[in-house]
Structure 1
Amino acid sequence: MTYLSVTDLRGAALSRAQLAAALPRADVDVESAIAAVRPVVEDVAHRGAEAVLEASERFDGVRPAHLRVPETALAAALARLDPAIRAALEDAIARVRAVSEADARPDERVEVVPGGIVTQRWIPVRRVGLYAPGGRAVLPSSVVMNVVPAQAAGVEQIVLASPPQKEFDGLPHPTILAACALLGVTEVIAAGGAQAIALLAHGAEDLGGGTGLDPVDLVTGPGNVYVVAAKRLVSSRVGIDAEAGPTEIAILADAEADARFVAADLISQAEHDPLAASILVTDSEELLGRVEEQLAIQVPQAEHAARVEEALRGVQSGAILVEDVERGLEVVDVYGAEHLEIQTADASAVAARVSNAGAVFVGPHSPVSLGDYAAGSNHVLPTGGTSRSTGGLGTQTFLRGIHVVEYDREALAGARATATTLAAAEGLPSHGRAVDIRFER
């Protein structure tokens, strides 16, 4: 009994489009989810906090006493946090902060001509709403991955939303609250799902106790298909980072790869969700056989074995056989995985040729799990092949480029003919007139 269905592309002459169609991919129906969440989003837009509370009762089974989490609850969660977890979070924060601060961009001043200067200024988004999910798994690491780059960018106001938990009296999970306290985030909202996204986007006049919530300018963070649908619905009102789908791992491996490592890494992503995609691309039937042997050993040992098995056997997962690593590179570039591992000979050289991936993990000792927690990289990454056009969450997500143009009279005179000629060619003579008038007495 095998876990991975096999697609044999050896000898197949496929166009790029045909190759993309031949690869496994999760079927995520965002359009149907939009139909389901649209009434929730519209209700929150019109009725504010009361609509959020009613949705929480319906979907989370609890009605929070306070939508805004009291700062005393944040402090108490941090005080009760297991010291080992606190130390791990502090280490993760330091690692992500080191990378995020290095990603900050200085202003760039270009003297186009003498007296003609264009400066690219990088301005942080003023107010951001960050979402930390609380479904199958509690993810304080997602708090770190969202908050730290926003802070590194210089974001002035951060509000974080996370689902209320029935077992914690309607507050978000204590580890989420503790992570917020560690990071100095004091505006925390007990709301999850589509209602949380709608609340962040629209704000509310009164959250209870006479305090309201200002709408944000940008919403970021991972979530299920209903969160994705809600982000799409509010994207005309606020910025969003991405429409993230189920997690993905693709591993490009040759005969030299350690089958134990490959199997463990496929399992690590499969435990997220039954829709998680685990893909092995290899030129070695022998390696594939050894990986299947390891899956047979490791899957039953996994805590979430049933979920892992469902994901590995799903249509979104499988093994792709190719002629060689060169063809494997073409396959993984067309696939555009959220996480791509390179476990081949000369892994660094192979990885340097990758164009499409959310993040690339090079060699046998760089598992995706490292990036999830402690590499310093960000784990909020593009899925569903969207790495072909966008990157993952980072400091630059929270920065806006603004061009500042400053020309003196002589520099404008040098650009006058170009500007007026193009204005006339486009049938916009007043554009040219606005330049010419500056040279008339």
Structure 2
Amino acid sequence: MKKKLLQTNILLAIFGLSFSMLLGGCLKPSDGEIVKAVPLPFKGQNMAKTLAGESSLTLFYQAFNRLALASVITPNTGFTIFAPTDSAMKAAGLDAAGITKLPIDSLRKLIMYHIANGVYDDNALTSSITSKQVTTLQQDTVSDIHGFGSVVVPPLFIKEDKVLYLNGIAVVKSKPAIQTSNGYIYPINSLITGIPSRTLYDVIKSDPDLTLYNQALIIADSIRDVATGFPDPFLDDVATFSNPIKFSIYGNNYASFYPTVLAPTNKAFNDAGFYTVNDIRQFALRSQTGYGADYPAFNFSPVDSVLKHHILYNYNVAQGDPSTFVGIIRIFYNDLLDPAINNGVYNNYLGPGLGYATPLTFSASNGAVNIKWNSDPASPLVVLPLDVSALHPVNNFIASNGALYKIDKLFYPIVK
């Protein structure tokens, strides 16, 4: 497939060697997801006193007291607490004795992740197209490959659409949100599952159903790197999928849009006529890749043009362009059930130099996601399998830098 690649500058030195491309698409004002939420006036006691009076939250309150959080959750500052009930705490091994014995640092890491900065009532949690990213009181110190340490804040993603979702996992509220003088308390029937540390590429390279997809990514990257003359982290999928995203309280996020990958299985490749790695390689080499006589137009390889249609990623959003930036975007399975996701921005790939005029269209049927990947009305919908348990993924994977959903369909022939 031939796509226009508009070259602007070559970034050198500390910015890394890469092309910065202009894009043909941008977010229109109507694409924004900001909907004004009008919370009820604050009333009642503060959070600490309210927790003390909740008979179903005695164990969470015990942990709250052991960490002396009343001095942190001050009455003049707003917070939202997702408080596991006593039965949820006990199911996680945190009865009264367990809370007392647990090392203080481990308890702090666990409990602080359940306390979000800011005030979010039900209206605020239902007003966005995708899950809302918030910061919590949890902080971790990590070291990079050079040995330098930094403080990072693990993100928490929240959305409510009849069901409350925390990090893409449905969580049952034991009762409606409790309004306090400085925020809301949501009693929930389980502990929050954090975002895994594995990357998208960790999932891909370790899954035996995705061996052909993994090799196709490597082939596409290698052909493109040869054509451009250097590895390009903006375009190389293996580099993108391998890069963990960390959130620092001292600086900006590395990215604001996480890729969502609809990963074709080996069966998907076989059904499309690709049985071996050599089949994929021959397809990738079917036409010239690189700059042609009409430079600066760039010809992407056929395999690139197929694979990137399986990725939901918008370069404009990810770069945080002030004219288009709409906040942190991360698409979970439950977000794909919402018809509002089909806004031409979140449901398409628009990357440096490569985009599609035909976005994917998502719909819901019996709680499962269906995908329309081309404009042919006779083409059947592709079913996105839903795992029985989000805690034991088989087809639906959450990673530190995005989400991956396995499908038995390759979006082939190429769609422009």
TM over 0.5, shorter chain: no
Structure with the bigger percentage of strand: 2
TM-score, length of structure 2 as denominator length:
0.27
Q: Which has the higher contact order (CA 8 A, sep 6+)?
A: 1
Structure with the bigger percentage of helix: 1
Q: From the CA coordinates, give the structure whose radius of gyration is larger.
A: 1
